[in-house]
Structure 1
Amino acid sequence: MLNIPRPQAVIFDMDGLLLDSERVALASFEEAATALGAPWTRELGLSLVGRSARDCDTIIARAFGEAFPLEPLRERFSEIYDAKVAAGSIPLKPWVRELLDWLEAARIPRAVATSTFRKRAEAKLARAHLLQRFDAMACGDEILRGKPAPDIYELAAQRVGAEPRDCLALEDSNVGIRAAVSASMRAVMVPDLLQPDADIRRYGVPIVPSLKEVLIALQG
């Protein structure tokens, strides 16, 4: 049974944890790449999960070659993906609202630590009616090193006024869990597109099927 001591703050990843957006993002990347004649694969898409835009560009350039025109791909992806965000095509993951309701009632601060750039992250959270439910955000364009470096979680803790070691980090990706652990946070993984790698299991990080288990543990 999951046991979570009461945290000073809870820090959430966004894509794949709060929002069921990873599938939409990867489908948008595939559509954009196909339009440019680039050989997109599912494996390439999965390697981008949880990564910052800069790191994604590095991975794509490595896959397609340094001469591949990244800017047209990024522009086409943004057109496709942002239209889907505006259309409300990204649903919430299960038990998000219930967990946020409980944390608010318990007066436990809440922050978001997302690799997504702030402008897009705010638009996605606002479209899902979640933006005002968080006390702070740390975004991919506000740190030098993306996940799995600890920077984004350390910044989120700072902005919510908590010590990293007293925070609970909730993540769906392997790179995100590595970032949270590197920041000395207690972490729980709720897998989405990716299952936990061997090192995540060696860390002893709890792995649960949904945020419901996190809610029950905090209530208990």
Structure 2
Amino acid sequence: MSLPALPFVPEAVIFDMDGLMLDSERAMLRSWTAAAAETGRDIDPSQWLRMVGHGDAVCLTILEERMSAVQARELMARCQALYEMEMEAGLPLRPGVLELLQWLAQRGIRCGVATSTHRPRAPRKLQAAGLADYFDAIATGNDVTKSKPAPDIYLLAAQRLGVAPARCLALEDSPTGVRAALAAGMHAVQVPDLVAPDEEVRAWGHTIIASLHDVRDMLERRLAA
């Protein structure tokens, strides 16, 4: 299948982190499942998938559909502790991310991160994965008032990069992140991981591709045009 053409050569590329660069969504799902089992909560796996791409506040709201606020916070705290252990053991990279970052660095294209993960965890995860030095700016979940799907985190990342949002390419795995990037006025490319785009998401008209290797191929073709 031929790849779609990019409409411009971006001045900056802004990356989501979890599920796009790091294979962390599966680790988080394992942590949620283990935490639920430890606390005696019987929760359908589809409930966890609803949380993908969202910040803590939204995740708590989803949990509170099935339990009290106190129970939801206890479950989240246990999940976070289990996830920390997975993170310290090292989270694998998603296919193509290192090659893409190296390619962008060689061509002087600025890179940023827009992640719902909070500080200090977000920079620590990038550092542990060996990716921190590739980024000129990081915007995290506690740097903004409104999390994804609001555009705030992408607008902040663009501001910190010193690049107009319309000149940024945003890379996301989740529909929530895509909505945020589109609302910020960026050209969004989705590389789905755990949550496949449904008909509603596809109707947004953004680019959907299989891997970050495809992103590099799209950029190479645009530069050669």
TM-score normalised by length of structure 1: 0.95
Shift of 1:186: 0.2
Residue number among 69, 81, 84 corresponding to 2:83 in the alignment: 81
Aligned to 2:12: 9
TM-score normalised by length of structure 2: 0.93
Paired residues of 1:28 and 1:80 also in contact (CA < 8 A):
yes
Shift of 1:206: 1.2
Aligned to 2:97: 96
User: What root-mean-square deviation, in Å, do the aligned CA atoms of Structure 1 and Structure 2 show?
Assistant: 1.2
SS of the residue corresponding to residue 208 of structure 2 reads coil
Q: Answer yes or no: is 1:19 the counterpart of 2:22.
A: yes
Paired residues of 1:2 and 1:213 also in contact (CA < 8 A):
no
Matches of 1:119 and 1:59, distance apart in 2: 24
Shift of 1:198: 2.3
Paired residues of 1:51 and 1:115 also in contact (CA < 8 A):
yes
SS of the residue corresponding to residue 71 of structure 1 reads helix
Matches of 1:120 and 1:198, distance apart in 2: 34
Aligned to 1:105: 106
Aligned to 1:217: 218
Aligned residues: 218
| TM-superposition CA deviations, 1:155-187 (whole Å, max 9, x none) | 111111111111000000001101111111001
Q: How does 1:160-171 map to 2 (within 5 A)?
A: 160-171=161-172
**What letter is aligned with 1:42?**
P
* Amino-acid identity (%): 46
Gaps of 5+ in 1: none
Aligned to 1:65: 67
Paired residues of 1:6 and 1:218 also in contact (CA < 8 A):
yes
Matches of 1:119 and 1:66, distance apart in 2: 28
Shift of 1:67: 4.6
Matches of 1:160 and 1:214, distance apart in 2: 20
Shift of 1:77: 1.2
| TM-superposition CA deviations, 1:39-77 (whole Å, max 9, x none) | 222111000000011111111112x23354233222211
> Once superposed, which parts of structure 1, at least 4 consecutive aligned residues long, lie more than 4 Å away?
none
Paired residues of 2:60 and 2:73 also in contact (CA < 8 A):
no
SS of the residue corresponding to residue 139 of structure 2 reads strand
Structure 1 residues 67 and 181, CA gap change in structure 2 (3 angstroms): closer
Shift of 1:132: 1.5
